[in-house]
Each structure stands twice: as C-alpha cells, then as structure tokens.
Amino acid sequence: MKYLKLNHVQLIIGANRLFLLGVIVCGCSFYAKAQSSALPAGAQQASGTGVKTTTTAKQTPVAAAGAATYIDNFFKKYKDEGTGPAIDYIFGTNKLFANNNAQIMLLKAKLDSLRQTVGEYIGKELIAQKSSSPSLVFYSYLAKHENQPVRFTFMFYKPHSEWVLYRFKYDDQMDSELEEAGKINNKRQ
C-alpha cells in the first residue's frame, strides 16, 4: 500500500486487500449494531399501556447534498474532461491540498495509467453511502469502464457550512473482496 502524506491527511493509493476488507467489515459491524439498538424512525411508546407502536417511515439515506453534488461533478469531469480536471476539481474543495501539487500530480499520473488499462468510462453506480455524524459522510462508487470496474471512495467533512474532501481513494480490487465474501467459511450458519 502506498501512502502520500498531504499535510495531516493521507491519500491512500492502491489497496491492501485484507486491510480494506477488514475496515469495511468492522465499519459495517459497528454501523449495524448502532442501527439495531436504536428505535426505528417514528417509533413511540403508547402512554400508560406499555405497548410500543410504530409507524412505518422510509428511512432516508445520508442527506449530504453538497457532497453528492461534488461527486456528480467529479464524475462528469472524469468523463468529459479526463482524470486531471476531475482530480483538480475534487481536491479543490479543500484548501489543505492546495500546496501539495507534487502528490496530486502523482495521483493523476497513476489514475491515468490505470484508466488506459480499464478502458473508456461508461458510468457510475453507488456501492455504499454512510454517515458517522451530520458532519462526516462516506460514499463508495463503482465506476464502470469498458474492460473492468474501478471503485472510488470519497469521504467528506463539513467543519462549518461547506463540505470539503477529507479522504479520496480508488482501487480495482473489488473482485477479490466479492470472492472472499462468497467463500464457504464466510457463510453464516
């Protein structure tokens, strides 16, 4: 796994399969436990009866409109203008990255190289969308290309009123995670 240190923020390029799988499993476990211990939206206890009543309310996904707009614009630039303008755009959301041109240029070069292998960009699909608080959101997207997919992960932080890029990562190793998840010893009994 290669790290580029950008001030106090690290960009993770490439992927260590086991580490990434462990992070995803742990994160999902913590999220699932937190969700299962909370009452569903609209749940209330009827007064004096001891009976819980619930209303079915569709739970809305993470509402981070600004962050989602940044991602949509990133993929539009990725398709129409190429890797460089897309990377410049997404990193331009956070002033901490302004003085790290060498690392950003390296990131662009590596992504350009990968893009030559995976083929032309076709579109994107949301893999996961999580929020640890109203100020920190995570998005994972499958970027469909002619030859193989690439996963892009974005983490955004909102210190005040605007979202800024906090972490960015891409990799092409989803197949190994999917294979691992499908193994017999991973099935629940």
* Predicted pLDDT at 187: 65
User: Considering the domain boundaries, does residue 186 fall inside one?
Assistant: no
Give yes or no for residue 34 having a pLDDT over 70: no
- The number of distinct structural domains making up the chain is 1
| CB under 8 A, 24+ apart: contacts of 63-68 | 64/131, 64/137, 64/156, 64/158, 64/163, 66/156, 66/158, 66/162, 66/163, 67/137, 67/139, 67/154, 67/156, 67/158, 67/163, 68/139
User: Considering the domain boundaries, does residue 69 fall inside one?
Assistant: yes
* Predicted pLDDT at 188: 59
pLDDT tens, residue by residue, 42-91: 444 444 444 443 333 333 344 478 899 999 999 999 999 999 999 999 99
The CATH number linked to 137 is 3.10.450.50
User: Considering the domain boundaries, does residue 166 fall inside one?
Assistant: yes
pLDDT tens, residue by residue, 144-184: 999 999 999 999 999 999 999 999 999 988 888 888 888 88
Please tell me which residue, 9 or 130, carries the higher pLDDT value: 130
User: Considering the domain boundaries, does residue 24 fall inside one?
Assistant: no
User: Considering the domain boundaries, does residue 45 fall inside one?
Assistant: no
pLDDT tens, residue by residue, 90-143: 999 999 888 888 999 999 999 999 999 999 999 999 999 999 999 999 999 999
User: Considering the domain boundaries, does residue 19 fall inside one?
Assistant: no
Q: Which residue segment(s) compose the domain that 124 sits in?
A: 1-13+63-175
Q: What CA–CA distance (Å, rounded) separates 13 from 10?
A: 9
Residue 64, both tokens:
């981070």
User: Considering the domain boundaries, does residue 136 fall inside one?
Assistant: yes
User: Considering the domain boundaries, does residue 38 fall inside one?
Assistant: no
